[in-house]
Structure 1
Amino acid sequence: MTLRDADSKENIEAYLARNQGLSFVAVDSNVIVAAVLAGTDGRRGYLQHLTVSLGHQSKGIGRQLVESVVCALDRYGISKTHLFVHHSNNNAQQFYQKMGWFPRDEVRMFSYNSSLNVEV
């Protein structure tokens, strides 16, 4: 997971307000141990960030959070969801592929930055 300046508290709050009911946390003994940030453009779902604390990995928590996102998006009528994984993050790629996600090698992501801040 890469956090950028665009992931500021204010920007995340605005994202959550626009995408209510699509992001989730997992709590153990009143401590957040995992979180997923997701949203939609009204046509497709986007799983933005998923993180599980090291001590809680490999317990199915990440899987449950991803399934919660997919179910929540389905209630909005969104049946296709995209996510981005760093090329070098083999663990994440294997995790998602075990859940039935598949790489899309026929498309290439392009970005445009209208800011002078390269970390947005």
Structure 2
Amino acid sequence: MNYRPMIADDYEAAYQLWENTPGMNLSAADSREEILRYLERNPGMSQVCEYEDGTLAGTALCGHDGRRGYMYHVAVSGDSRGRGIGRGMVSRCLDKLLQEGVDKCHLMVIEGNSPGRSFWAGIGWQEREGILLFSRNTLHVTDNVMV
């Protein structure tokens, strides 16, 4: 297995992996253009794992805002699970964040994604209670906002 930073040429194989990963939700933010913009904004942070033949076995998108790190789309192909690939990519992402001076990382797991919740809990991450996630598209920022 070979671990390395994710590059633009990995996009198609990564997207295919994400589409075939139970519990993974994809949106317009996962378009090629948006993912490449994320990789450019966070150079060298996101990781992939590939077999000797170059076939993608796993992905982990990673970035930060200067204060906190964030991981997205940590996925390992079904036939490669249980080999420590996810743990290896996460470890590399955390090392990259630490090198950038970021000492805490957050991630989101879809509530019904039991395998995802189990994975994160199993490698020492703590599920937070009392935090609600609010989201809003920025398309019409002034709608319902006092200006």
Q: For this structure pair, what is the TM-score category when the shorter chain's length is used for normalisation?
A: over 0.9
- Residue 88 of structure 2: aligned partner: 64
TM-score, length basis structure 1? 0.92
1:26 aligns with 2:40: no
- Residue 17 of structure 1: aligned partner: 40
Shift of 1:115: 3.9
- Residue 75 of structure 1: aligned partner: 99
User: What is the alpha-carbon distance in structure 2 between the residues aligned to residue 78 and residue 99 of structure 1?
Assistant: 19
Secondary structure at the counterpart of residue 36 of structure 1: strand
- Residue 98 of structure 1: aligned partner: 122
Determine which structure has more spread, i.e. the larger CA radius of gyration: 2
TM-score, length basis structure 2? 0.76
Residues 81-106 of structure 1, C-alpha deviations (whole Å, 9 max, x = no match): 00000111111111111111011112
Letter in 1 for 2:25: T
Equivalent in 2, 25, 36 of residue 2 of structure 1: 25
Q: How many correspondences in the alignment?
A: 116
Identity of aligned pairs, percent? Answer: 38
Secondary structure at the counterpart of residue 134 of structure 2: coil
Superposition CA RMSD, Å = 1.2
- Residue 11 of structure 2: aligned partner: none
Letter in 2 for 1:9: R
Residues 11-63 of structure 1, C-alpha deviations (whole Å, 9 max, x = no match): 11110000011101111021111111111011000001111111101110001
| Structure 1 consecutive aligned stretches of length 4 or more whose deviation exceeds 2 Å | none
User: What is the alpha-carbon distance in structure 2 between the residues aligned to residue 104 and residue 115 of structure 1?
Assistant: 30
- The 5 A counterparts of 1:102-113 are 102-113=126-137
1:51 aligns with 2:75: yes
Instruction: Flag structure 1 segments of 5+ consecutive residues without an equivalent.
Output: none
